[in-house]
Structure 1
Amino acid sequence: MTSAEKFMEYPHVDRCIGGVAHFDDAPQWIYQHDNPYLHGVYAPTTEEIHAENLPVIGELPADLVGAYFRNGPNPVFESKNRYHPFDGDGMLRGVYFKDGKVSYTNRWVDTEAYAQEAQEGLSVSPGVMGPFDYEISQFGIKDTSNTDVFLFAGDVMSLWYNAGHPYRLDPESLETKGHYYLDGRDQLRLSAHSKVDWSTGELLFFDYGDEPPYMTFGIADPTGKLKHEVAIDLPGPRLPHDIGFTTNYAILHDLPFFHDMNVLRNHGYRVLTFYKDIPTRFGILPRYGKGSDIRWFECEPCYILHVTNSWEEGDWVVMDGCRSTNPMPDAQPGEGELAHMLAYMRLEANNYRWRFNLRTGEVREGDIDNTLNTEFNKSNPVFHGVKSRYAYHQRIPLLHEGGHTLRFNGLVKYDNDTGQSWQWDYGAGVFGSEAVYAPKPGADRSSGEDDGYVITMITDSNTWTSECLVFDATDIEQGPVCRVQLPHRVPYGFHAAWARGEDLYPEA
């Protein structure tokens, strides 16, 4: 019996106290809290389902073959303390395109924490906001594996935001197979946003922690066997979220947004501070170099969640991504004990470019666009590591625009060379997911960089229905070329990935 089968069926409800939502597939307990990340578009679903031959509005492209995977929080039990979206049990959702038809599957990631809570019949983790009574739980803050997702070595890999233990899932059924062990590596932990280089099939990974070495960087071959790993010398524990890579280098991040180790050791919790007087540092390391080979470049203080792409131009290494100069906005009056969590989740960032000269040590940096608040930025994976031009971001309303919580209200395509952008508004009360770029079958670097499709999920809070949208990447302003109607409401989530048909169905 799987962990999911051990859970008791939730009581269904047909209304929300306070009138926040109207649907019947969310657990009763979510209505007992004022936490907005448990209501409306964020409310968890309760069923694992598989559905074939989904209805399609518009014309489904005949050459669209592969799967859109998306991860995100989907809590099973009422949180014992204050709920944070990082605490929500990971649930993967897959939309599969094959033979002119579309199917859908969703499954919880069967983590150790998920299994233990199934046995206990309640949530026992203190959660990332505490208080931290670890002796009650075997696993302390639970690794929910709810953050990142990608296909590697024939399996789906699911990872957690805070350098957790990755899980392997069957790419078609999404059944959890267990932890993802890299052959030859002793350490299990991997950070979310480790990267698969489609040109080599290699996994470029990093992890970090509270004890030396505070960061490591490594590479696994396409079969999952460790090829290389080195320790990275940092002045203390950090919270890097992503890395960049080029044909010959990895770009590692030392960001001035980290926690006080004295508070952690003495009181058991993290107090994050953005140190505006400490430069941001980027370390450029040859892919198979020693830790001592890293070269650090100092930039303006900032925090970075997600890198779009990186490449080499002669003596220069270029990195595009989204930059935040205010990773911990001020808490707002009246938000009570959730104020700091709500502030942290209100993401403020813009499209940005950094350039590093490996010969002279010169740094050049600046805005690609400073007019839009965008993040969850993706680009064509075929071009990762080499020069690229286009990126696909989610538009995020700021607090004064009604952005009380993190949500995506529009898709933005950027020409990162010119700063020009094109937008598609999801509509009033409609919220999107991270969009992925899906290249056409057989596409390579000689193909047009944007001659493919952009795919996302949306949930309409007016009807509590969800769809998967497919856009022609060359013209997102025309709107989706087709809409796939999903069999149930899909809550807000974190990251998504595209699996090519030739990787997912190699026998076809």
Structure 2
Amino acid sequence: MQNLSRVSEYPSVEHCIGGVAEFSDTQSWIYSLDNPYLHGVYAPTSNELDVAGLQVEGELPADLYGAYFRNGPNPLFQPKNRYHPFDGDGMVHGVYFQDGQVAYRNRYVNTAALQGERSDGRSVSPGVMGPFDYQLSPFGIKDTSNTDIFYFNGDLMSLWYNAGHPYRLDSADLSTRGYYDLEGRSKRRLSAHSKVDPNTGELLFFDYGDEPPFMTCGVADAGGKVLHEVEIELPGPRLPHDIGVTRNYTILHDLPFFHDMAVLRKHGYRVLTFHRDMPTRFGLIPRHGSASELRWFECEPCYVLHTSNCWEEGDWVVMDGCRSTNPMPDTQPGEGELAHMLAYMRLEANNYRWRFNLRTGEVREGDIDDLNTEFNKTNPLYMGRKSRFAYHQRIPLLHEGGLTLRFTGLVKYDNETGRRWQWDYGTGVFGSEAVFAPRRGATASSAEDDGYVLTLVTDSNNWQSHCLVFDATAIDAGPVARVRMPHRVPFGFHATWARGEELFAPR
């Protein structure tokens, strides 16, 4: 293995294959593995901390009240086989804002698979890239619960990208309380990006798999009791990643990017293909509706990772999100056995709008902007009702140095006009998914951008991490406050904001 001691030798990227970043807070085994998603900003941390009274640069808003939570991959043991970021054990980072003070803590999601590996003292999962020697792993491919995180019914729910088992985390100390079981549901699997309606407290969830029924969707009440679940008929197994939610409808995704079941059954692994000759379909079903009430709308072929918001306008249903017409970019020379993983993680997407007419069946769709952005969030109080603003992460394309998935800037969009405001994190500084934090006491009648936008960033020039706080009305003015984290925070996937009015209320 080529020994390069500092990733700063590569000023345009945080790491190149063969590079090594030296950290005192992570496991030594990372230095023996030539995988960019284990080095630099992606290197796991071995620290689990509880630190109060964090240092703040700038002025912390007095009405910033709640907590920013972010999930992501953080492998505890050396991977048994080739490593993919989906294989990294989930670790949740929490930044708590209360009474003008900021506290931080982080914890592993103590999944059943991680508990087994802790007992064994090593990784036994084959990982999503194999080889798939399942007989040696009691858990098969490890459900790491490293993808999504959101606040529901007084606790946090963490989820895996591939419709894994939801886990329940204590929102105060981040300890894992076990599986998050919904009352009245015999199955445990849920997909990442199930959603909580702020108006009703309901959980809108969906599930998918390789055997019929290939998809289900349902509703649980604010206490976690299932009110409704329905099987969705599909032509075969699919890999949806998100849903849309309006006040009256759930919008399901049937996307032409899926795996060959014959290969999966024979060899045990998924070969993903983007079927450019197949339309993308979006299915609108009443929130508590039956399968017979589902209506499909055909659109241009694409893949959709994340929706921003959806709402109803008369006969029309509007869905804003990010659209990819190239979900599997070309592999690059010299990347060896990691080439397909590296290509898959190079996310190409842009801000987009779809409109579906419930009376005529007409579809209208088109770009809002062509900038490469994703990991899009909106004001959670506006979920399911008309909104204008969305907050995205700027993602460099391959020709811009984007060898790996990384976030180099915050972008605020006015989706009505296409106007955007940006803040670049700086050379060698990489961000996390940003969340919108309504001001303390804000309601659904408050101005849509009356609040703050928060993200975690790590500076690869000195490996210092901060939580940045922006005034949502002036993103391009830069952060109004920077909270210094007590250690380096590795790259992660999704984040959420829990309001202090709920989080800190007496139980």
Range class of TM-score, shorter chain: over 0.9
Provide the rounded CA distance (Å) in 2 between the counterparts of 1:22 and 1:61.
36
Residue 179 of structure 1 pairs with residue 171 of structure 2: no
- Contact 2:71/2:92 (<8 A) preserved: yes
Instruction: Tell whether the 8 Å contact from 2:430 to 2:459 is kept in structure 1 after alignment.
Output: yes
| Maintained 8 Å contact 2:152/2:196 | yes
* Equivalent in the alignment of 1:268: 268
1:292 matches 2:292: yes
Aligned residue pairs: how many? Answer: 494
Q: Which residue of 1 aligns with 2:402?
A: 403
Q: Which amino acid aligns with 2:429?
A: V
1:382 aligns with 2:347: no
Structure 1 residue ranges without an equivalent (≥5)? 1-13
Task: Please state how far the C-alpha of 1:22 moved relative to its aligned partner.
Answer: 3.7
Matched, 1:363 2:363: yes
Residue matched to 1:10: none
Q: What letter is aligned with 2:235?
A: P
SS at match of 2:126: coil
Q: Distance in 2 between matches of 1:43 and 1:311?
A: 39
Tell me which residue corresponds to 1:123: 123
Query: SS of 1:41's equivalent?
Result: helix
CA distance in 2, matches of 1:292, 1:343: 39
The aligned residue for residue 154 of structure 1 is: 154
- Whether the aligned pair in 2 keeps the contact of 1:15 and 1:24 (CA below 8 Å) is no
**Stretches of 4+ aligned residues off by more than 4 angstroms:** 14-19
Aligned-pair distance for 1:441?
1.7
Letter in 2 for 1:470: V
Deviations 1:117-175 (A, max 9, x none): 10111110000000100011111000000000000000100000000000001001000
- Measured in 1, the distance between the counterparts of 2:218 and 2:142 equals 25
- Determine if the alignment matches structure 1 residue 327 to structure 2 residue 327: yes
CA distance in 1, matches of 2:45, 2:83: 16
Residue 16 of structure 1, CA deviation: 6.4
TM-fit CA distance, 1:446 = 1.5
CA-CA distance at 1:445 after TM superposition: 2.2
1:198 aligns with 2:198: yes
CA contact (8 A) 2:148 2:159 kept: yes
Residue identity matched to 1:390: F
**Aligned-pair distance for 1:177?**
0.2
Distance in 2, Cα, partners of 1:482 & 1:19: 33
Distance of 1:75 and 1:154 partners within structure 2: 28
CA shift at 1:442, angstroms?
Answer: 2.1
TM-superposed CA distance for 1:291, in Å, is 1.2
Whichever residue aligns with residue 182 of structure 1, its letter is L
Equivalent residue of 1:292, what SS?
helix
Code of the aligned partner of 2:463: W
Deviation at 1:444, TM superposition (A): 1.6
State the TM-score, normalized to the length of structure 2.
Answer: 0.96
Amino acid aligned to 2:46? T
- Asked if 2 retains the 8 angstrom alpha-carbon contact of 1:16 and 1:31, the reply is no
Q: Quick one: which amino acid aligns to residue 375 of structure 1?
A: E
CA apart distance, 1:288: 0.5
TM-superposed deviation, 1:332: 0.6
Paired residue for 1:450?
449
Secondary structure of residue in 1 paired with 2:326? coil
CA distance in 1, matches of 2:440, 2:59: 18
Residue aligning to 2:13: none
Alignment RMSD? 1.2
* Correspondence for 1:11: none
Aligned equivalents of 1:124, 1:290: Cα separation in 2: 42
Unaligned 5+ runs, structure 2: 8-17
Which residue is equivalent to 2:433?
434
Deviations along 1:251-285, one digit per CA (max 9) or x if unpaired, are 00000000000000111110000000000000000
Query: 1:7 is matched with which residue?
Result: none
Cα distance in 2 between the residues matched to 1:441 and 1:430: 30
Could you tell me whether the CA contact under 8 Å between 2:148 and 2:495 is conserved in 1? yes
Over the matched positions of the two proteins, sequence identity in percent amounts to: 74
List per-residue Cα deviations over 1:282-318 (Å, max 9, x = no partner).
0000001001210000000000000000000000000
Using the size of structure 1 for normalisation, the TM-score is 0.96
Give the equivalent residue in structure 1 for 2:102.
102
What is the correspondence of 1:213-362 to structure 2 with a 5 Å cutoff? 213-362=213-362
Q: Which amino acid aligns with 1:402?
A: G
Letter in 2 for 1:363: V
Query: How far is 1:479 from its partner?
Result: 0.4
In the alignment, the residues of structure 2 paired with residue 15 and residue 46 of structure 1 have an alpha-carbon distance, to the nearest angstrom, of 20
